[in-house]
Chains A and B, each alone.
Chain A
Amino acid sequence: DQQVKQNSPSLSVQEGRISILNCDYTNSMFDYFLWYKKYPAEGPTFLISISSIKDKNEDGRFTVFLNKSAKHLSLHIVPSQPGDSAVYFCAAREAGNMLTFGGGTRLMVKP
């Protein structure tokens, strides 16, 4: 049973518009959440993270929102650029334990 789910396997967005990638989790003990980006033929790279004591974290064009009551987090990319086209994984950590990854969402940003 997947504790971290990304229900949209793919997302297509026009360049300049907002991309919203969603992630749901079931384990209320997760205390830290991360987003990784993966280009083809490369390993995932860390993008942005958020602690469970916060509800928002922003880094340039990337913002992660956390709704603990709904057990939901989202990654917003504004404005989207063609170079953002990649697979995005959300991951969650229960204190002292390993990361649990979602299934990934493939984002395609069209010029």
Chain B
Amino acid sequence: DVKVTQSSRYLVKRTGEKVFLECVQDMDHENMFWYRQDPGLGLRLIYFSYDVKMKEKGDIPEGYSVSREKKERFSLILESASTNQTSMYLCASRPPGLTSTDTQYFGPGTRLTVL
């Protein structure tokens, strides 16, 4: 079974703090993703990575950065947290290549609250 873990289930931070969200997958997947989930808006892609040290912006990258130093680990960084970044953050991974299934495996999510 694919396992995607996220470092924290709940996190409370103050405005202006630097926030690190960590994600680890154990299936040697090349592709990893960070989404945020907000009511009525579904899942929106922040950043993704298709290999170590590679990253691509998603639909809403502003205010975020990412780091992929090892294949199994993909970190999301909020340089200076703001209240509008209060959200559920979901990490996902996917096997390599363009397959017809495109199934992504998600972690349990981190509920971040910025005060």
Listed in ascending order, the chain A residues whose CB lies under 8 Å from chain B are 4, 6, 9, 32, 34, 36, 41-46, 49, 51, 89, 91, 93, 95-96, 98-99, 101-104
Chain B residues touching A, range: 20 to 34
B42/A41 in contact, CB under 8 A: no
Question: Looking at the complex, which of B12-20, B62-70, B73-81, B105-113 is the stretch in contact with chain A?
Answer: B105-113
- A–B complex contacts, Cβ < 8 Å, 26 sampled: A9-B40, A32-B100, A32-B102, A34-B102, A36-B106, A41-B9, A42-B109, A43-B4, A43-B106, A44-B90, A44-B106, A45-B106, A46-B103, A49-B101, A49-B102, A49-B103, A89-B43, A96-B98, A98-B33, A99-B45, A101-B42, A101-B43, A101-B44, A102-B42, A103-B39, A104-B42
How far, in angstroms, from A89 to B90 measured CA to CA in the complex? 14
A104, B92: Cα distance in complex, Å: 18
What's the count of A-B pairs with C-beta under 8 Å? 56
Assess the A98–B108 pair: CB atoms within 8 A: no
What is the bound-complex CA distance between A32 and B100, given in angstroms? 7
A103 touches B42 (CB 8 A): yes
| B positions within 8 Å CB-CB of A | 4, 9, 33, 35, 39-45, 48, 58, 90-92, 98, 100-109
Contact of A99 among B90, B104, B107, B108 (CB under 8 A): B104
- Chain B: CB-nearest residue to A102: B42
What residues of B have a CB within 8 angstroms of the CB of A6 in the complex? 42
> CA of A110 to CA of B33 in the docked complex: distance in angstroms?
35
User: Whole-angstrom distance between the alpha carbons of A9 and B109 in the complex?
Assistant: 21
Sample of 11 further A-B pairs with CB below 8 A, known A6-B42, A44-B106 = A32-B102, A41-B108, A42-B109, A43-B106, A43-B107, A44-B43, A45-B106, A95-B98, A98-B45, A98-B48, A104-B42
**Shortest CB–CB separation between residue B91 and chain A, in angstroms?**
8
Contacts of A46 in B (CB 8 A): 103-105
Closest A residue by C-beta to B104: A99
A102: chain B residues within 8 A (beta carbon):
42
The answer to whether A89 and B42 touch across the interface, beta carbons within 8 angstroms, is yes
